[in-house]
Structure 1
Amino acid sequence: MTSQTDAGTPFRAARFGAFGGPDVLDVVAMPGIDPGIGGALVRVHAASINPSDVKNVAGRMRQTVPPRTPGRDFAGVVVAGPEDWVGAEVWGTGGDIGFLRDGSHAEYVVLPPGALARKPENLSFAEAGAVGVNYVTAWIGLVEYAAQKPGETVVVLGATGGVGGAVCAIARHRGARVIACVRGAVAEDAVCRQVGAELLDITGIDLAATLREMAGGRGVDVVYDGVGTPALFEPAIEALAFGGRVVCIAGTPGEKVRIELIPFYRKEARLIGVDSLKRGVAACAPILDALAEGFASGAYPPPVIAQAWPLADVAHAYAAVAAGTRGRVILTLA
């Protein structure tokens, strides 16, 4: 193992000792850490705040035991660890950091070497630190589970959201026709618009009939549901073609949806759930490596940074995410 001078240096981190709203977060001084043999120490330059981070602090993630430093996404520089990684600019995300182990909303984070992935050079640290959860969740559902193929029709429910936009970008890059379901006007910088998805305003329409008509009567191949309401999920199921797949990442506790089983099984349709929290930081690194080419080529537009906050204002940054700020909210740490 080789290291720069950062290993063992005291640092600042966001911490919560009890669950609650953003106001339970404090910035505290932490003792210096050494990653030890087989570990890597990353100096965090930027880290986005996801809705799941807010839920984590609120106590909605059963696996988390405080005190804890939250934070899933990050971008920074390796300052200690394997010789061929020291000095490398990296990015990452994981469903374990911030939950089962201290996360990225700190000046340093310790990772296993298998969690290291090189950041695309054309992305800033702020942009790279805002990619993780959205694109990894999109990739797992669309590429790994639904096995989307070129020429297929992909419908995205919640297309203006973070994951929805990522699905639009990945599917377009993989040769799909993408129908982005939206409500009303769509911002010019929305990913679904930037990548050339077909925008479908679903306000007041018969969604199932409209989708079948747009697909020439045969139905659609993949529906990626980032909303999780019966009003959209049920017609999406109806609109599936033979062999169609529905990927679901959202829902409301206690709310039920209906599926008519005879047409569902006769279509040999599939319903797929995705929970990216099940993927640890090391398991996400190969996905980020696979995504890097799309960002390097410009096929995936850089994330829109809505707000950037210093670590000292972490409680205000969390409050912005809790309020539903459009675009990504990041902490700047370097």
Structure 2
Amino acid sequence: MHAWRVHSHGEPGEAMRLEEAPRPVPGPGQLLLRVRAANVNFPDALLCRGQYQVRPPLPFTPGVEICGETEDGRRVIAAAALPHGGFAEYAVAEEADVLPAPEALDDAAAAALHIGYQTAWFALHRRARLQSGETLLVHAAAGGTGSAAVQLGRAAGARVIGVVGGPDKARTAKELGCDLVIDRRADDIAATVKEATGGRGADVVYDPVGGDAYAASAKCVAFEGRIVVVGFAGGAIPTPALNHALVKNYSIVGLHWGLYRQADPGAVRHCHAELTRLAADGVVRPLVSGRVALADAADAVQRVADGATVGRLVVVPPGAPAAS
């Protein structure tokens, strides 16, 4: 089969090599999946760089999020079990992690409903306890997980303020349903949020960026607000001033979705049922901005690493069904 493999860490465009590789053999409790679609996530870039919290043995195939088909013909979504990731014709997944693909979505959108939407759902509902009528501030609102947070925030009845970089992403965020869009390149985030909320600030902040985004969030989080730390796509890990959190009465909470798979798998299945229902009702629909051939996967991962995309790019292997 054809598979992209990483033999040494580096930038995705240089570290990923398309090779002829043996079909992976699933271990105990695992399933072999024929890949129908593999979405590109920022963790794929971190895996290539050797900077992710999980470091699979070299060589490995990236591609953490897939829609696939089991050997008995079931259409499913799963987080791939590394080192046998989804940027290949076949991948491996833990049987306990495999979930039925939502019938309302095609393969690309179904795969995108998994990690990014689960991350946003757990961040907003389990960690931040977002309430209807509250103000939600979403950084990277036109990105893969940010776009999920925008849609789920709207579904929860929140007023959503999205932060993006540039006018093209601002248009995308507005189309996703943001009530207000802030261009971080042109606007003062904290001042704009305070003005839009009558000085109160954001009740919940969804931050997959870190660095300057976190610093701005701390300036405009509301009394008893919650900042959810999801990741550090901006490259800088902030060092929060805990005395500031103390005097302003706000919470800083972390969200590592993968830990729920280990510690509370029932919650993951419950979340999937909720997301499937929202997709069937047309309330959420993953933003798939482009489909690329397997041969172009390395370029797609590099584009995500460089912050040059909106929504999700999806890799479609040869022979996979066409988009519906």
- Aligned match of 1:136: 118
Question: In structure 1, the residue corresponding to 2:181 is in which secondary structure?
Answer: strand
Q: d(CA) in 1 for partners of 2:112 and 2:201? A: 34
Change (3 A) 1:196 1:298: farther
Q: d(CA) in 2 for partners of 1:316 and 1:53? A: 12
Verify: 1:16 aligned to 2:6, yes or no.
Answer: yes
Question: In structure 1, the residue corresponding to 2:150 is in which secondary structure?
Answer: helix
Verify: 1:70 aligned to 2:52, yes or no.
Answer: no
Q: Give the TM-score, by structure 1 length.
A: 0.80
- Aligned match of 1:294: 278
- Aligned match of 1:91: 77
Q: Which moved more, 1:176-185 or 1:251-260?
A: 251-260
Q: CA RMSD in A?
A: 3.0
- Aligned match of 2:92: 110
Verify: 1:332 aligned to 2:322, yes or no.
Answer: no
- Aligned match of 2:34: 43
Check whether the contact 1:39–1:112 (CA below 8 A) recurs between aligned residues. Answer: yes
Percent identity (aligned): 30
More helix, by proportion: 2
Q: Give the TM-score, by structure 2 length.
A: 0.82
- Aligned match of 2:157: 175
**Shift in Å at residue 205 of structure 1?**
4.5
Q: Which moved more, 1:316-325 or 1:176-185?
A: 316-325
Q: Deviations over 1:169-199 (max 9, x none)?
A: 1110011111112344245872552224322
Q: d(CA) in 2 for partners of 1:322 and 1:275? A: 20
Check whether the contact 2:288–2:314 (CA below 8 A) recurs between aligned residues. Answer: no
**Shift in Å at residue 211 of structure 1?**
2.1
- Aligned match of 2:249: 268
- Aligned match of 1:8: none
Unaligned runs of 5+ in 1: 1-10, 80-85
Q: d(CA) in 2 for partners of 1:260 and 1:33? A: 48
Q: d(CA) in 1 for partners of 2:296 and 2:140? A: 30
**Shift in Å at residue 238 of structure 1?**
2.9
- Taking the TM superposition and a 5 Å limit, the aligned residue runs for 1:110-259 are 110-187=92-169, 190-203=172-185, 205-230=187-212, 232-251=213-232, 256-257=238-239, 259=241
Q: Deviations over 1:20-44 (max 9, x none)?
A: 34344232231463666x4433221
Question: In structure 2, the residue corresponding to 1:170 is in which secondary structure?
Answer: helix
Q: Deviations over 1:141-181 (max 9, x none)?
A: 21221111111111112212222111111110011111112
Within the candidate set 41, 44, 48, 1:57 is matched to 48
Question: In structure 2, the residue corresponding to 1:136 is in which secondary structure?
Answer: helix
Q: d(CA) in 2 for partners of 1:117 and 1:41? A: 14
Question: In structure 1, the residue corresponding to 2:70 is in which secondary structure?
Answer: strand
Q: d(CA) in 2 for partners of 1:34 and 1:53? A: 21
Q: Which moved more, 1:115-124 or 1:251-260?
A: 251-260
**Shift in Å at residue 280 of structure 1?**
4.7
Check whether the contact 1:118–1:289 (CA below 8 A) recurs between aligned residues. Answer: no
Larger CA Rg, structure 1 vs 2: 1
Q: Which amino acid aligns with 1:20?
A: G
Aligned length: 310
Change (3 A) 1:93 1:242: same
Change (3 A) 1:260 1:23: closer
- Taking the TM superposition and a 5 Å limit, the aligned residue runs for 1:311-330 are 312-327=295-310, 328-330=312-314
Q: Deviations over 1:87-107 (max 9, x none)?
A: 32111236xx33xx4222222
Q: d(CA) in 2 for partners of 1:285 and 1:241? A: 32
Q: Which moved more, 1:173-182 or 1:250-259?
A: 250-259
Unaligned runs of 5+ in 2: none
Question: In structure 2, the residue corresponding to 1:129 is in which secondary structure?
Answer: helix
- Aligned match of 1:304: 288
**Shift in Å at residue 59 of structure 1?**
2.3
**Shift in Å at residue 225 of structure 1?**
1.9
Q: d(CA) in 2 for partners of 1:162 and 1:20? A: 22
Question: In structure 2, the residue corresponding to 1:287 is in which secondary structure?
Answer: helix
Change (3 A) 1:141 1:192: farther
Q: Which amino acid aligns with 1:265?
A: L
